[in-house]
Structure 1
C-alpha cells in the first residue's frame, strides 16, 4: 500500500509548479456508512495486521469525481494515471 501511495504521488506530481497544486492521494480500503466507536472496529481489524502481505500488480489508478446521490455514492472517472506496472499472471 505504501508503494502504491508513493507511485501515485510521483505520477501526479509531474508538471506541478507549486505546493498549491500538490495532490495527496487517498487510498480507501473500507467504508462505513454509520457512526461507530473506533475502539471495537480497531479490535476487529487488528488481527489482520498479522496476516502475510500480498503483492498486487497495479497498472493504473483512476482519479474519480465522487458524489452522493440519495443513499448511494456515484462516481465519474476524470483521469487514469498509468503506474508503469506490467500486466502478467493474475494481473
Structure 2
C-alpha cells in the first residue's frame, strides 16, 4: 500500500500533469475498445470507438495542451533568437 501511495505522490509532485491524464486516457481507451468489440456489427463498433473514444480524447488533449504548445513556441523562439546572435 505504501509503495502505491508513494508512487502516486511522485507522479503528482512532478510539474508535468500529463502522466496521470495519460493513465486515465489509456484506461478509457481500453474500456471503449471492449465496448466496441461487443457491438453487433463492425460499423457499429467503429462508430462507438470513434464517438466515445477518439473524438472526445482528441478534443480533451487539444484543449489541455494549450499551455504546453505555448511554452514550446516560446522555447523555440528563444532558441532561434539565441542562435541568431553572432558568436562573441
**Normalising by the residue count of structure 1, what TM-score does the alignment of the two structures yield?**
0.27
Larger relative strand fraction: 1
Larger relative helix fraction: 2
| Bigger Cα Rg | 2
The answer to which structure, 1 or 2, has the higher relative contact order (CA under 8 A, 6+ apart) is: 1
**Normalising by the residue count of structure 2, what TM-score does the alignment of the two structures yield?**
0.27
